[in-house]
Amino acid sequence: MDLLNTLVEKGLRRELPTREEALAVLATTDDELLDVVAAAGKVRRQWFGRRVKLNYLVNLKSGLCPEDCSYCSQRLGSKAEILKYTWLKADEASKAAAAGVAGGAKRVCLVASGRGPTDKDVDRVSKTIEAIKEQNEGVEVCACLGLLSDGQAERLRAAGADAYNHNLNTSESTYGDITTTHTYADRVETVQQAQAAGLSACSGLIAGMGETDADLVDVVFSLRELDPDSVPVNFLIPFEGTPLAKEWNLTPQRALRILAMVRFVCPDVEVRLAGGREVHLRTMQPLALHLVNSIFLGDYLTSEGQAGQADLDMIADAGFEVEGTDTTTLPGHRAAAGGGCGSGSASSEDGCGSVCGTTSPEEPSVPAAREEARTDLVSVRRRGAGTDLAPNA
């Protein structure tokens, strides 16, 4: 396909595809799927070889969030029967993190429900970061605590945090349909605060919430402009007891096309296969490794993932290798520049210039292909952090 040849050439040069090209990837047929995966795989291997970075989540505080994000099982008014507990102590969190590191995780992601941290919360998380760093040499720590206030990103950085996660989740135009208690601009501002403090920015999206193809392209182009080092791609887990419980809009094939589109738009960024991969990709997960260079190991915040050993076996069987702590994840040009998703040029063709996030008046809105609900694959987490049971790592 001429489209795929063009996208590969652009990806190898770190050039931004057009919106039409990104939309065309999402519109490809199932018969063309393997060609799409092979093309995006060339771009992935150019910048990341066959390495897979492992990340491990520790949910520091679960449930009881005052925000109304429709996709979240921890939201205000959620009836999902998830674990609910207040802040883990530093030693408890460090013990949970150690299980992930022992399983091969290079990065530990510390997450807490809520609108954003108080200064006392930042102190608490800082002690946890210090404990993890002291006990696990070489491990990266990413904090995900919600909206940040002035000075909090700098304090987390001083405590040893390497990165901060705050996802955009969906397009700016549809954000108000998903969340009303904060704005899309609030999220952008928090990512920028993290970057200004010298933290590596991690920001991604959630697919499968009923969005159109144009919405998906919008948020990925906005991420390209925001310039995070890591882009997690989540697939909605439709928890019973949340407003989006009936949104089963993804097939494994569509999920792979979304991942390919993200790789083409942000060719040299750490693209992470995140929550919902087991639910929506299922037995096609190994194909996704040709598109992403990073995954979460084991369980998620409130849902269970596949066994940690199964993740390791999948990586090995697919011909990939786990990235060690002595390896720099990002390509040299990005690591040297402190991050960035493009070439650093402000032109509209080869960097994060003014073309990012723009809209075209003649874009198709292709609805997602709805698949049969697989509620049997949604398993609430009952082990690990906040419980007396061993974690899955």
The one catalytic residue in 19, 44, 72, 381 is 72
Is 72 known to be catalytic?
Answer: yes
Q: Is residue 101 part of a domain?
A: yes
How many domains does the chain contain in total?
1
The one catalytic residue in 44, 65, 75, 144 is 65
The one catalytic residue in 142, 266, 341, 352 is 142
- What are the tokens at 130? 């210090």
Q: Is residue 389 part of a domain?
A: no
Q: Is residue 193 part of a domain?
A: yes
* E strand residue ranges, 214-285: 230-235, 270-273
Residue 172: burial class (beta carbons within 10 Å; 0-12, 13-18, 19+): middle
Contacts (Cβ under 8 Å, ≥6 apart) of 121:
87, 112, 114, 145
- What are the tokens at 362? 């003649």
Q: Is residue 387 part of a domain?
A: no
Is 352 known to be catalytic?
Answer: no
Binding site members for [4Fe-4S] cluster: 65, 69, 72
Binding site members: 65, 69, 72, 109, 142, 202, 272
| Angstrom distance (rounded) from CA 19 to CA 152 | 36
Q: Is residue 170 part of a domain?
A: yes
Is 266 known to be catalytic?
Answer: no
Q: Is residue 384 part of a domain?
A: no
Q: Is residue 390 part of a domain?
A: no
Q: What is the CATH number of the domain that holds 112?
A: 3.20.20.70
Is 341 known to be catalytic?
Answer: no
Binding site members for [2Fe-2S] cluster: 109, 142, 202, 272
The one catalytic residue in 14, 19, 44, 109 is 109
- Range of the structural domain that residue 73 is part of: 2-344+351-377
| Angstrom distance (rounded) from CA 291 to CA 33 | 12
pLDDT tens per residue, the chain (393 residues)? 799 999 999 999 999 999 999 999 999 999 999 999 999 999 999 999 999 999 999 999 987 888 889 888 878 777 777 778 899 999 999 999 999 999 999 999 999 988 999 999 999 999 999 999 999 989 999 999 999 999 999 999 999 999 999 999 999 999 999 999 999 999 999 999 999 999 999 999 999 999 999 999 999 999 999 999 999 999 998 888 888 889 999 999 999 999 999 999 999 999 999 999 999 999 999 999 999 999 999 888 887 788 899 999 999 999 999 999 899 999 999 887 765 444 333 333 333 333 333 333 344 444 445 667 777 777 778 777 878 788 887
| Angstrom distance (rounded) from CA 220 to CA 199 | 21
Eight-class DSSP state of 273: E
Is 69 known to be catalytic?
Answer: yes
Q: Is residue 358 part of a domain?
A: yes
Is 109 known to be catalytic?
Answer: yes
The one catalytic residue in 19, 44, 69, 107 is 69
Residues facing residue 295 across a β-bridge? 54, 273
